[in-house]
Chain A
Amino acid sequence: MDYSLLLNQKIQNLKPSGIRKFFDIANEMDHVISLSIGEPDFTTPWHVRQEGIESLRRGRTWYSPNRGFAELRDQISKYFARRFDVEYDPNEEILVSVGGSEAIDLCIRTLVDSGDEVLIPQPSFVCYEPMTLMAGGVPVIIKTKAENEFRLTAEELEAAITKKTKLLILPFPNNPTGAVMRREHLEEIAKVVEKHNILVLSDEIYGELTYGKERHVSFASIKNMRERTIVVNGFSKSYAMTGWRLGYAVGPEPVISQMTKLHQYAIMSAPTTAQYAAIEALKHGDSDIERMREEYDMRRRLIVDGFCRMGLQCFEPEGAFYVFPSIQSSGLTSEQFCEDLIYAQRVAIVPGTAFGECGEGFARVSYSYSLNHIKEALERIERFLDDIK
């Protein structure tokens, strides 16, 4: 039976994720030391897990309201007010989703009509382009540059906008580059966004993991941007809760209510147990975030210092838990570099091209690993570089 005639054309045309290939190689080998995983190595703080367990013990096993529990939305609203200085009505402007990923999908499908152009800065997380394509939109890639520390500039944005532009994706702090947009950078972007009357999906899932002097600034907090921004955030990265699958979107009521409609039909409601745990995380988890952030920061310094010492050019990332060193001095392509590295020294990292063609010449290295693990990996990478000199 020829399924290709029956399957949706758009889905058949989607490229599989480029991160996978290296995972598959790594899985077949012994003693591989990986710096490729993109989730926290911490486990969920114990008091947060306990609230999840307690909710089960009490038999709270039903669906939650479509938008998520009122108490959770209330806590999310308070969190945004205290952390980012933006007010959201918990009843109309917040939707709890299955991870940040669902919220991104809902947002794109809610906003994009067939033929609408969606601006996607790359290198970036792999989901924006396929989700845009599935929604019938046209992805327009904006290549961010190493010389700008992989920030999106107002000029690059301006140059990419056409009459068909509907939405800008703003993926900062950025996976895979670790780039952040500071207030002054966001203000420049905001001017262009306002001038051209487009909307912004700001993916701020790594918002708690920044290491510069200035903490993360939400795009919605920039003047006049609240009304045209949908912020996606979640619990996975900040509270080490990836497996609980819980995220959310906040934004203007007309957008959130349409997204809620879609969420209602496709998902119904986010996991109940996870929502009880998340309430606890928002109420009493600030110190957990700080503890993990400090640990990530030390790892970040160790790895950046290590790469610089071995002569791999590497701008200092200020967010997320990735570094994005240039491997161009090796004379190899990103794919070849990563493949040779895993076979020669059994260290798994991800080629930059997995996050967009413009990631060529770079590799993503995750530091969501223990210091000892990172230390060992650095020694192996150094041996590899010495050998290929």
Chain B
Amino acid sequence: MNRLLELISENADFTDSQLAAMLGISEEEVKKKIEEYKENGIIKGTNTLINWDKVPDSGVRAIIELKVTPKAETGFDDIAKIVMSYDNVENVYLAASSSYDLIALVKGSTIQEIAEFVSKRLSTLDAVIGTATNFVLTTYKQGGAVFYDDNEEEEQRSLIM
């Protein structure tokens, strides 16, 4: 039933009846499956894809790499929990990488604000042994949607017959 998840992850606006038609199952089955996914924590919610680049004064975003010393019993989880507890942290990932362990997507109203957040709130954590801050300049694609204005989205097929 991953097809159902793929479909709703591409577009949350499909109605249950549309999903049922596409998958060749009943509307009740769709409802039931979605309910199950919610209960199991597979579906965590829906939000709207916003191209913040086009919103005036919407601040800046940065991808912060964190090199962390894991704890003996809880590994990286404890430190990740601290990082994700900040409201301005949007995403947190554990990475398989030789140069860093955690990646956090952080928003702020100015570059200075983010720099300050990193130096005062993240770098100062005991387990954090190093950080690297990457400011986002342009969002080209997010959540499967192309954000960058280009002719790419336009119909390229010709009308020939």
Contacts and interface: CB of A to CB of B under 8 A. Distances in A.
Contacts of B21: 301-302, 304-306
B159 A20 contact: yes
A267 interface: no
Contacts, number: 47
B14 to A, nearest CB: 7
Contact of B14 (A23, A38, A39, A375): A375
Contacts of B18: 302, 305-306, 375
A126 B7 CA distance: 35
Given A372-B11, A375-B11, A302 B22 contact: yes
Given A302-B18, A306-B18, A371 B159 contact: no
Contact of A309 (B14, B17, B24, B155): B17
B161 interface: yes
A128 to B, nearest CB: 13
A20 B161 contact: yes
Contacts of B161: 17, 19-20, 38, 126
Nearest to A369: B155
B94 to A, nearest CB: 31
Given A23-B159, A37-B159, A126-B161, A305 B14 contact: no
A371 B13 contact: no
A298 interface: yes
Interface string B2-19: 000001001101100110
Nearest to A298: B22
Interface of B: 7, 10-11, 13-14, 17-18, 21-24, 155, 157, 159, 161
Contacts of B13: 375
A371 B17 contact: no
Contacts of A26: 159
A305 B11 contact: no
A41 interface: yes
Nearest to B20: A305
Given A37-B157, A126-B161, A309-B17, 9 more contacts: A17-B161, A19-B161, A20-B159, A23-B159, A299-B22, A301-B22, A305-B21, A371-B22, A375-B13
Contacts of A301: 21-24
11 contacts: A17-B161, A36-B159, A37-B155, A37-B157, A39-B157, A298-B22, A298-B23, A299-B22, A371-B11, A371-B14, A375-B14
Interface in A32-76: 34, 36-39, 41
A385 B14 CA distance: 21
Contacts of A304: 21
| A-B CB proximity, top 7 nearest | A305-B21, A23-B159, A298-B22, A301-B21, A302-B22, A301-B22, A37-B157
A27 B160 CA distance: 13
Contacts of A306: 18, 21
A211 to B, nearest CB: 10
A37 B155 CA distance: 10
Contact of A371 (B10, B24, B155, B157): B10
A372 B17 contact: no
A306 B18 CA distance: 8
A23 B11 CA distance: 29
B159 A27 contact: yes
A327 to B, nearest CB: 21
A375 B24 CA distance: 17
A39 B160 CA distance: 10
Nearest to A370: B10
